[in-house]
């Protein structure tokens, strides 16, 4: 049986800053003898509302494992070619909710139980824009670490992919 942590082709490792996500990243690194393939990118999307401990954990994992983590934040873009993300780092990452505030300003209303656009805009689309605009990628494998109790998230992602909404 092949190692499920081996990647092939353009691959995004979406690192949330949580323990499951870190475990996944570590296993992928180990599967590749401690060094990721050149067509594999690790990204952390900061909402500006992350806990300081989470930011420190992402930073510490990157240093300890000698892996480049691309720190990204939502940015309001205008026009078709405008960048919709900003590359930051541990020291320059927002800590007072700036990306979240920019999103609310752009939408002109706050997220609610009906319009749940936070994760989609602040994380998923921010990383997607970085890969498409910043890296020139048109397709990739997206690896996300989820806890055992979050299986429904995977099913939703598979459904979106099957419908062509989020290939």
Which candidate, 70, 40, 68, places its Cα nearest to that of 137? 40
Q: Write down the pTM of the prediction.
A: 0.88
pLDDT at 167 > cutoff 60: no
Tens digits of per-residue pLDDT, 86-111? 999 999 999 999 999 999 998 888 88
Q: Which helix (H) or strand (E) holds 158?
A: helix 151-162
Structure tokens at 68: 């480049």
Q: Is residue 3 part of a domain?
A: no
Q: How far is the C-alpha of 110 from the C-alpha of 101, rounded, in Å?
A: 9
Query: What residues are paired with 43 via a beta bridge?
Result: 14, 70
1 belongs to a structural domain? no
pLDDT at 55 over 90: yes
| Span 58-73, average pLDDT | 98
DSSP-H helix ranges across the chain: 19-31, 52-65, 98-107, 118-119, 126-129, 151-162
Residue 68: inside a domain: yes
**pLDDT value, residue 149:** 73
Instruction: Report which secondary-structure segment, H or E, holds 77.
Output: none
Query: Number of structural domains, the chain?
Result: 1
Q: Does 47 reside within a domain?
A: yes
Residue 150 in this model has a pLDDT that exceeds 90 = no
Which domain range does residue 89 map to?
A: 11-162
CB-hemisphere CA count at 13 Å for 17?
Answer: 20
Q: How far apart are CA 42 and CA 45, in angstroms?
A: 10
pLDDT at 161: 73
Q: Is residue 2 part of a domain?
A: no
CA dihedral 86, 97, 107, 83 (to 10 degrees): 0
pLDDT at 113 over 90: no
Report which listed range, 70-74, 100-104, 143-147, is most confident: 70-74
Instruction: Please check whether residue 167 lies inside any domain of the structure.
Output: no
């Amino acid at each position: 049986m092949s190692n499920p942590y081996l990647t092939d082709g353009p691959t995004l490792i979406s690192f949330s800053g949580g323990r499951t996500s870190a475990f996944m990243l570590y296993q992928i690194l180990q599967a590749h003898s401690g060094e990721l393939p050149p067509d594999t990118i690790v990204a952390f999307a900061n909402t500006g509302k992350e806990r300081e401990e989470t930011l420190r954990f992402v930073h510490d994992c990157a240093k300890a494992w000698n892996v480049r983590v691309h720190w990204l934040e939502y940015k309001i873009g205008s026009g078709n070619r405008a960048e919709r993300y900003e590359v930051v780092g541990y020291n320059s990452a927002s800590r007072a909710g700036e990306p979240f505030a920019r999103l609310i300003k752009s939408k002109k209303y706050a997220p609610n139980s009906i319009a749940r656009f936070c994760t989609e805009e602040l994380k998923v689309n921010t990383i997607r824009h970085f890969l498409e605009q910043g890296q020139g990628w048109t397709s990739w494998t997206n690896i996300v670490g989820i806890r055992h109790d979050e299986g429904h998230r995977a099913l939703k992602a598979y459904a979106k992919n099957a419908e062509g909404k989020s290939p």
